[in-house]
Structure 1
């Protein structure tokens, strides 16, 4: 009878004020919404008030196409959807059968396919379940679009920025309208923690379903203002009890008992549904509160809150929320990375700021560059900011202690390829900090091992600029192309390793969670790398390794001594290889390379040093290419270099990264201009 009376009141309004998109919104319309929309008209009016009716009319057949395209897809979003399907209003008969569950699956999967940036977020299943109770499947989809993309912007993502912003607005309104409550609560974060589900689910998760739908009525009519007003009314109603609470847990208990006592005397829902949502009523002595009276009181007391004021507070609090989230990300990243490096906390923080700044400079530097191209807030903290090879080169030139090297572009490229273990052409801050830590704080063996690994696959690749006039410098296009080259000599083992380190490549777009967990476990259990496990270095790689050492030593006070040491070590290594080959019983006599590669006893000084080193290197290269394939183990190179004190002094020489950091702050923009 009450439902028929409500329907009659709405029919009279339609005659007086119009029906459909031509209907005027008046005080009488608001009063009828506060009383609760009739079951028969609820879906139609939700579509009208939200504007979803226009979206659906403008895109005929769109939902059907989405369902067909998304059918059978397997992603992280679809896995999460499957997990939550049975948790969506389990007490309601509509979702106790495969019909309701299948409709819910199709709507959520279609939306995840439409908007992969949001995909699926918890609370979307609860909201969509209620939408499906009163709207057809396609209508429910367009209502979900209206909620996620217009009415509650930025709510349904990994960082729920929109919900956090509105919680900050809610706290601001509490200070204005309920000052005695804020004086009692020492920590305002209590309101944020307790009200998060109110905003994300529009009170559906805390109120009985027959009462929650009335809140949804007001939300589609008034937007977020209705949720804010109701939240204030709930706190005001429980003011006396909240003021006597001694801790947050007691306050949460008070609010939960209150929500359990909220009823809807006009609800036509089946008794079984109401019984499932009011089990605790028999245990609670809290007086019954009618949802219609509560909403009416919220409108009367706090109806003066204007949309303009809410939007103004949203803009004012949004920057604060984002800054807080960025600070949290920074703290978590620095905490994790600090366990693996020897940089002091202040230097590590400065490096993080430079890394992050380089990311943003690259995003905004070019007009056509997609903003925040490599930034994904849904990723773990470490991977939220990543840089490519070009950005890494800029930072290497500014911060590396080896940036004076003539082939510094090649070194930057090989270093990037070495630390980009997943072959994603992107690295995170931890990878960047760890390789920089090896250059600055590593032992003699660590630094030499890093140089050795830079000159063997998968890091090493033959690099030659297309513009001879540039010498060893590489253009941006060349750098990106070389960084994406795969190492053919490694073969299938590298491919399988790449798949292992990049779980998202497994299957048809499926993210393998188990692979991620296995990768994380391997990192935790990873032992220090044994130098015996390093592959041997072949001729061409050893030649380039020697050239890199020559370039590193240029300009050092002991430059002449270091050049001589290189010649001595090179000759010694070749003699060792020749002896090894003879002991193995070669089938044919091989001309000894030692006689050809003997270096002069005296290396010319100053003006002739570079030319002499180049001639020596060239003759050595010709000798190696002219003979059978030679290779050297890292242990051989390490033992030989340890015999030369000049080498040990050079690599043990301390470098102050603070100087580099201060210089980088001033030169970061100029460096990009030069690039």
Structure 2
């Protein structure tokens, strides 16, 4: 713990302490008699003295001293009960203070600065401990009074939290306090007789980043239109940075409310926002992104534990996540083993007998006759009780009718709807749009795409068809073997082995089924019986701007594919898109949704395609399909950063990687479906449903890496884009020896003969081997950083558009212009301008 510095003569302490480490300004000492044998008399005497004293008077065995060179006194600034604890304080001093002190010329300034910093850290630690015990501790009330007095904000400007830190002004750090409020970031310092006040509105921040200054101090840099500010020497820099990101993000989202962002109700009202809310939001965002769960899902508990994994015959260490409707597990080793258990699939949660081999065990049984054993669960009784309460609620809201007689069959009634070999594609929901079609097989008999593909392959010769079918059988056999060992429902063990199978390409007969399982759209489908049919009935026949846009794009969706060369396929696509627009009017319909939906319909029934579309638009590609495709813009910025990190030579040659956005944006919006032969692109969609957006990032990097030499030799952006377009046109699937089917970018056989052809399986394998190390957590952190800049850019554009309304002949004061902008956003009474 940090200690209030008090000066003590150094010579009086030499006999009682032994120096372990030292630097220019700090000394780490161990008390004699601690960790020594009994040989030395001094050590035995000191040890005996400590043993006689009670715990309140006993001296900690480790301490850190501040000693300014040339001074005969020193000041204890930290102590610890263990070497590990004191080393943490020593590391903090080395990383944050040691290099900084070299900027001071006066020794008294060094002593004053260090003592002031340590006192501030003590105050922050105290307030942090109190905050965990009560909602409004006395320390926080004191800080609130100082905040209001120093910055004179209106009463509505709520203070969220505060931190001790330094603000760099040139080469000199100014020790003070950072205040984070609803709308502003503020800093106050009074050091060496000089006062410093800073006020930065969140809406003015263009960039937030963690960096290091010239003195090797971990720093948070704030960039606005006017300048940069560096803040450092935080007790917990990660916590501060996360709260800054959350506050900037929430503030900008509230301003851009016309984009249809989904904010929690407590975040919509600024006066209700607390530090705990923001921390919970950050934790929830990561949890939902990692497991790709619905955006309304709230995390309730995170518990360290171990899960029995039968395929490895051991307990795998990881964490259990419990939310409203899910129990999830993630191994500590990234990608080793993940499990998603929807509560509607859970039959029971039971405690087992506690043993030395199986400490604190519980068993979670699911309806497919599988059981998951967790051990080493802290607070097991409370956790089980909470899970049982939520399990009861979920089953009450969505009753489940089990039919376990066919649960072991992957093609049972639970999954038959996605079989490519069935003849139920498109036809089953023709009956939804017309009551008179019941029982009419003739009007609903569209040859499934697999049959259309078979006809095309037969034109290439029976040998090609046989080769394709043989490869399909081999893949199917591998998957069936995998199901036996790892499970075959949404609750399956997700490991590196299944990722390799997915990268090889999912068999046609299982593709729709596994897309539903990997995305967990199967849970939405099972939880909302009849919902899609009602949407179709309510939305069809209504004419509005959205339906007009859908009609314009219907015939542009895979126009050469047999499934969309007749009204049956077009009608199915129309129903799904219109139903989704009715389901989520905030998104409605956006271009590129038609291409994605048409591919989903090739492998799933209408209702299943609808729920897959919901999963993609609302969970797997968040904020992609709003008015300004903000989510896609954020990921484009992340992609540019990854290019600079992984392909620095190419990034340097391109100079402006954003020029690639004209082609790479479609990679993200359509999952490569619009710029690659369909038979190859669906393999990427396989990986996307399993690994999420990470797949598109690494595939994009692999495409650039493969073409790096040609791109570096290109003379301009146009030539570089031509290189990429031609490369993507010539990617084939080894299972498709004939020409690509159903893609308007397909090239002729002559063209194929003059340009190298790349196998999609090779490209996917390279993407995982070279760029697959990027974790979901890293991507989410990068998204947070870039989202602030993207949102700020849109906020600036909105301001500029508002100010353009003002004619040049009319002059306004600055406050008038700001009020006009507020009027445009609906924040002030408009009577003054009427």
**TM-score normalised according to structure 2 size:** 0.42
Paired position in structure 1 for 2:826: 387
- Aligned residue among 41, 47, 51 for 2:510: 41
Paired position in structure 2 for 1:202: 671
Deviation of 1:218 (Å):
0.4
Larger RCO (alpha carbons 8 Å, 6+ apart): 1
**Would you say 1:167 and 2:636 are equivalent positions?**
yes
**Would you say 1:61 and 2:526 are equivalent positions?**
no
Contact 1:261–1:281 at 8 Å: present in 2 too?
Answer: no
Alpha carbon RMSD of aligned pairs, Å?
Answer: 1.9
Paired position in structure 1 for 2:747: 279
CA distance in 2, matches of 1:256, 1:182: 19
Instruction: Specify the SS of the correspondent of 1:273.
Output: coil
Paired position in structure 1 for 2:810: 343
Contact 1:262–1:291 at 8 Å: present in 2 too?
Answer: yes
Contact 2:561–2:742 at 8 Å: present in 1 too?
Answer: no
Paired position in structure 2 for 1:242: 711
Paired position in structure 1 for 2:819: 354
Whichever structure has more strand as a proportion of its residues is: 2
- Aligned residue among 703, 726, 736 for 1:257: 726
Paired position in structure 2 for 1:547: none
CA distance in 2, matches of 1:157, 1:275: 26
Instruction: Specify the SS of the correspondent of 2:829.
Output: helix
Instruction: Specify the SS of the correspondent of 2:555.
Output: helix
- Aligned residue among 495, 500, 506 for 1:26: 495
Deviation of 1:245 (Å):
1.1
CA distance in 2, matches of 1:349, 1:214: 56
Deviation of 1:191 (Å):
2.3
Contact 1:91–1:276 at 8 Å: present in 2 too?
Answer: yes
Q: How does 1:503-542 map to 2 (within 5 A)?
A: none
Contact 1:170–1:228 at 8 Å: present in 2 too?
Answer: yes
Paired position in structure 1 for 2:51: none
**Would you say 1:145 and 2:614 are equivalent positions?**
yes
CA distance in 2, matches of 1:49, 1:352: 51
> Greater CA deviation, 38-47 or 189-198?
189-198
Unaligned runs of 5+ in 1: 360-384, 397-411, 416-675
Contact 1:209–1:277 at 8 Å: present in 2 too?
Answer: no
Contact 2:559–2:743 at 8 Å: present in 1 too?
Answer: no
Paired position in structure 1 for 2:595: 126
Instruction: Specify the SS of the correspondent of 1:21.
Output: coil
CA gap 1:181/1:292 in 2 versus in 1, 3 angstroms: same
**Would you say 1:106 and 2:575 are equivalent positions?**
yes
CA distance in 2, matches of 1:315, 1:245: 33
CA distance in 2, matches of 1:151, 1:275: 24
Once the two structures are superposed, what CA deviation does each residue of 1:277-320 show, in whole Å capped at 9, x if it has no partner?
42255236321100010001000001110000000011111010
CA distance in 1, matches of 2:743, 2:799: 47
CA gap 1:272/1:320 in 2 versus in 1, 3 angstroms: closer
Paired position in structure 2 for 1:14: 483
Once the two structures are superposed, what CA deviation does each residue of 1:356-392 show, in whole Å capped at 9, x if it has no partner?
3x35xxxxxxxxxxxxxxxxxxxxxxxxx4538x621
Once the two structures are superposed, what CA deviation does each residue of 1:159-208 show, in whole Å capped at 9, x if it has no partner?
00000001111011111000011111122221222211000000001100
Paired position in structure 2 for 1:93: 562
Contact 1:168–1:192 at 8 Å: present in 2 too?
Answer: no
CA distance in 2, matches of 1:272, 1:159: 33
CA distance in 1, matches of 2:814, 2:724: 42
Paired position in structure 2 for 1:157: 626
Whichever structure has more helix as a proportion of its residues is: 1
Contact 1:260–1:281 at 8 Å: present in 2 too?
Answer: no
Paired position in structure 1 for 2:790: 321
Deviation of 1:332 (Å):
3.6
Deviation of 1:74 (Å):
1.1
Contact 1:334–1:348 at 8 Å: present in 2 too?
Answer: no
CA gap 1:350/1:176 in 2 versus in 1, 3 angstroms: farther
Contact 1:163–1:196 at 8 Å: present in 2 too?
Answer: yes
Instruction: Specify the SS of the correspondent of 1:311.
Output: helix
Instruction: Specify the SS of the correspondent of 1:330.
Output: helix
- Aligned residue among 100, 123, 135 for 2:604: 135
Deviation of 1:22 (Å):
2.4
- Aligned residue among 585, 589, 599 for 1:116: 585
CA distance in 2, matches of 1:274, 1:343: 58
CA distance in 2, matches of 1:206, 1:224: 17
Deviation of 1:331 (Å):
2.8
Paired position in structure 1 for 2:180: none
Contact 2:732–2:760 at 8 Å: present in 1 too?
Answer: yes
Q: How does 1:587-602 map to 2 (within 5 A)?
A: none
CA distance in 2, matches of 1:386, 1:311: 29
Paired position in structure 2 for 1:580: none
Paired position in structure 1 for 2:691: 222
CA distance in 2, matches of 1:166, 1:353: 31
Deviation of 1:52 (Å):
0.3
Q: How does 1:440-459 map to 2 (within 5 A)?
A: none
Once the two structures are superposed, what CA deviation does each residue of 1:253-272 show, in whole Å capped at 9, x if it has no partner?
0001101110001138x857
Q: How does 1:558-569 map to 2 (within 5 A)?
A: none
Paired position in structure 2 for 1:615: none
Once the two structures are superposed, what CA deviation does each residue of 1:26-70 show, in whole Å capped at 9, x if it has no partner?
121011100000010000000000010011111111000110110
CA gap 1:247/1:51 in 2 versus in 1, 3 angstroms: same
Paired position in structure 2 for 1:557: none
- Aligned residue among 177, 181, 186 for 2:655: 186
CA distance in 2, matches of 1:256, 1:291: 15
Deviation of 1:341 (Å):
4.2
CA gap 1:91/1:3 in 2 versus in 1, 3 angstroms: same
Contact 2:558–2:744 at 8 Å: present in 1 too?
Answer: no
CA distance in 2, matches of 1:329, 1:218: 37
**Would you say 1:289 and 2:758 are equivalent positions?**
yes
Q: How does 1:565-644 map to 2 (within 5 A)?
A: none
CA distance in 1, matches of 2:640, 2:522: 34
Instruction: Specify the SS of the correspondent of 1:252.
Output: helix
Q: How does 1:340-419 map to 2 (within 5 A)?
A: 340-343=807-810, 347=812, 351-356=816-821, 358=822, 385-387=824-826, 391-393=829-831, 396=832, 415=834
Q: How does 1:420-499 map to 2 (within 5 A)?
A: none
| Count of aligned pairs between the two proteins | 364
Contact 1:66–1:114 at 8 Å: present in 2 too?
Answer: yes
Paired position in structure 2 for 1:231: 700
Deviation of 1:152 (Å):
0.3
Paired position in structure 2 for 1:306: 775
CA gap 1:272/1:323 in 2 versus in 1, 3 angstroms: closer
CA distance in 2, matches of 1:171, 1:193: 13
CA distance in 1, matches of 2:555, 2:675: 18
CA distance in 2, matches of 1:196, 1:323: 20
